Amino acid sequence: MTVSANPHLAIAPVITGTVLEESRMVGVLAHGRDQDEQLMLDVVERLDLPDVGYVLPVAAGNAWYPGRHFDPVSANEPHISWALEALEAALGVALGAGVPEERIVLAGFSQGACLTAELIARRPRPLGGVGVLTGCLFGPLGDQVTPVRVDGLAVFMQSSRVDEWIELEYVEAAARAFEAAGARITLETNQDPVHHVSDDAVAGLRRLLSDH
């Protein structure tokens, strides 16, 4: 038996909300750096959608990767690959409960948002929606992955114009890349100086989980 080197796979995702098999929609929500499932448990409470189930992947050591989003991808490997595998595994929990992809929304905040964007860019699927809450694609500007076609996919992006961790130019570059790949992009920005899941972000995520 082969033991995976991926530390994130040693931690089972947290399942909350409505029983997955009975859920109208399922949200797979990934937290950011120096956080754990509690961040997304708080988001679930704020969403207040009683007919939605949730799968919350958890990062080993409270971080998905050690560097910054603008570092060359190779500088954050194998951590990015491990983290993407963990997101795939969380999606697999929902799929394993019989939930079709069209009823799953994948979303994340900060590191989790960058991973969400990267996973959809590399391995698209017909999800019910994607939420990139203060996030972007990995790598320096001009040296990022070109998203595979995602025709018609609803992608909600929200960020502050003054966020200290994810610069707006990177968010806007990701929005343009996904739009060029066929996504239906909604990009909202505000002037919030705090790096957190804002009320605007929660409202946009609620729309993704409600528009079905």
Per-residue pLDDT of 8-37, as tens digits, reads 999 999 999 999 999 999 999 999 999 999
pLDDT in tens, 139-180: 999 999 999 999 999 999 999 999 999 999 999 999 999 999
The DSSP line for 79-100 is HHHHHHHHHHHHHHHHHHTT--
Give the per-residue pLDDT at 211.
81
Which tens digit of pLDDT belongs to each residue from 115-135?
999 999 999 999 999 999 999
pLDDT of residue 11: 96
Residue 81 domain-assigned (yes or no): yes
pLDDT band at 2 (very low <50, low <70, confident <90, very high): very low
| Residue type at position 184 | R
The rounded radius of gyration (Å) of the Cα atoms in the chain is 16
CA 92 from chain centre, in angstroms, equals 15
Q: Is the pLDDT of residue 52 over 90?
A: yes
Residue 166 lies in a domain: yes
pLDDT of residue 4: 76
Residue 57 lies in a domain: yes
Residues 6+ apart with CB under 8 A from 108: 29, 30, 31, 32, 114, 115, 116, 131, 132, 133, 135
pLDDT band with cut points at 50, 70 and 90 for residue 60:
very high
Structural domain boundaries, residue 71? 8-210
Average pLDDT in the chain: 96
Flag whether 2 is in a domain. no
Q: Which residues pair with 79 in a beta bridge?
A: none
Nearest Cα to 128, choosing from 90, 188, 49, 184?
Answer: 184
Average pLDDT over residues 69-80: 97
Structural domains in the chain (count): 1
Q: Residue 162 has what DSSP assignment?
A: T
pLDDT for 48 equals 97
Phi-psi region at 17: left, alpha or beta (left = phi > 0; alpha = psi -120 to 50): left
What pLDDT, on a 0 to 100 scale, did the predictor assign at position 176?
98
Please state the φ and ψ torsions of residue 33, each to the nearest 5 degrees: -70, 145
130: CATH: 3.40.50.1820
Within a domain: 1? no
pTM for the model = 0.96
